Structure 1
Amino acid sequence: MERLTIHAAQPYEVLIGEHALGEVNKLIQDLQPKVSSVLLLIDEKVYQLHQQTVEQNLPHDALYVLPQGEKAKTFSVYEKAMGAALEAGLDRHSLIIACGGGAAGDLAGFTAATYMRGIRYIQVPTTILAHDSAVGGKTAINHPFGKNMTGAFHQPSAVVYDSLFLSTLPLREIRSGFAEVIKHALIADPEFLKELIDHVKDLKEIDESFLLYALKKGIQIKGEIVRQDEREQNVRAYLNFGHTYGHAVEAWSGFGDKLHGESVMIGMVYALLLSERKTSLDFNTDEFIGWVKSLSYEIHIDAPFGELLALMKKDKKNLNQMIRFVLLKTVGQPVLTKVEPSELEYIHHSLKRKGEIQ
């Protein structure tokens, strides 16, 4: 197990690796003011698979089981989670534990951010994808018109990332989560990207020690960006590489029909093609596409451009009704750029052609 520190306004630790769950009780005991009560909000599939481990390692006075995946990030589930907190009698010194993937963490974090105007919470991520979402304090639920449109910045008191949960992940969840690892390499570290391409040839057989190394590296990259810009006023927007088009794909598909990372991978390839056109990116995009296709990622979607454009116009990075994309000047050097709808449509059709090539 390793410990990393996220340098936010109130710094906190990320514990990652084997036996990290064993540290949760001490983390809670060390919090000041003393924790008065604990509500555990947990993904239903995680609870089904790991109930005994969870009961033994995550102390709680009350428990509420969340729907699996993106179904948790709705106004109705948020209302029920708030009701569970009220029924449990949580007060301003209470704590929420968020246990599950990115969706469970987002919902539980938003509940903590808004209950009595903000109480503490600890993230216990259980997926590869959540190595990204559990760190940095973004919390949110979805609206049918856009992903994460109702939310708050609310940093956790700690993140406890035990690798035991990864052993039960289905391949599709591994693929979805690994897209965010690739994203971190693209925006921050060309050598890390080369390591990923060289070492990962089959996501079914990814080496556990290398995976933990990659997850730690991704957390470090995100932590450094959060340190510079905790509330996304400038450089933190770079973490949204692939997300403008990707979120539109995810919303158009119906939240949960396409997993977040699957949508982000489509969005990243789209952003790479757009970068070639807008920033003269010198990058072998075809080789990259070949690699991600070999890992069974799909890189396009049969969605009408007009419908995706309407969704992209609701992206949080936009200003003065101008669509803004995170693009790459080079691998490791992102830039935020205004883009015209005509350019977006051209790349939409280019992506479709790339996706059809076997």
Structure 2
Amino acid sequence: MWSLRVSVSALMFLVIASLILHLLVLRQFKTRPEHLRPENLTILLWHWPFGVAYSLKGNFCWEKFGIPGCFLEDNRSMFSQAEVVVFHHHELWTGRSKLPLDLRRPLKQRWLWLSLEPPMKNGNLSAFNSFFNWTMSYRRDADIFMPYGKLVPKKNRSKSFVVPKKTKCLVAWVVSNYKEQYRRSKVFQQLKDFIPEDQIEVYGQWKKRPISNKALLKTISQCFFYLAFENSECTDYISEKLWRNALQAGSVPVVLGPSRANYEAMVRSDAFIHVDDFRSVRELAAFLKYVASHNQTYGSYFRWHESHEVKIYTDWRERLCTICSQYHKLPVRRVYKDLYSWVNQ
């Protein structure tokens, strides 16, 4: 009788242990599907964005960002060994590069479509349907979200931020691609009706007044506001105009682009002024003058500096390394059968 009880207990133990093991296996496959991450990942960049190449010597992802087992390549002979092949869209649609459709694509290899441009600059996408598994974009719903910048927790909170002295102008703007039909151009022209000309500084190719990257931040920091006006008003498209030209420079951004709610998903609500908050450009101009003349009100736009700082993404290698850090979370069977619809939604 005693041995029978022992046998029953042992059997129950084995059944329970088996169930627990089964659940653990299911959980693992739910979060890390059948393609379980390889020990090392090779990311092949098929062509460098805009033809500007960077050095890939050494283990860049590990040395710069602490991402292990991630190897970047731009040598096309590595095609058959790459887990991911990255194609920057600009070179594809301009015809400077082509998809390697003549090569035998490994079964587990994934192709990634990369573009940080708004839809209006992506041209005809129909030729690229059903080729790509993943997307990397400024869009938050991309497989790999890659913004132009973001606010990150401040590393040294003991170091206080000092608002730069404003000795140059009320409003600054850097613009090269100026077209009268753009909404940003129309808003700017109206602002000129309500703000004295000597309080507006415009730089860039449009005014044949170029400004170097070295001088950019220092120059803008001397103005109260920076016009972070996007040339395309589409979901999530918030470029370096906000992150670098305004926030990093130490000027309050006046933004024109996606909705206020869209901006607030990326940056604190008290860090910027949105054009759409005002019934007219006249009201906007009056508000800018008011804020600039009240130190406490103006200073409130810099409170985010107490806890955060700006991180800018400029190095394409850093963007590529991000693929490795997110690889195990990416969908296995995804294929973009209608890339145009996704890009333009």
Q: TM (normalized to structure 2)?
A: 0.29
The structure whose Rg is larger is: 2
Q: Answer 1 or 2: which has greater helix percent.
A: 1
Q: TM (normalized to structure 1)?
A: 0.29
Name the structure, 1 or 2, with higher relative contact order (CA <8 Å, separation 6+): 2
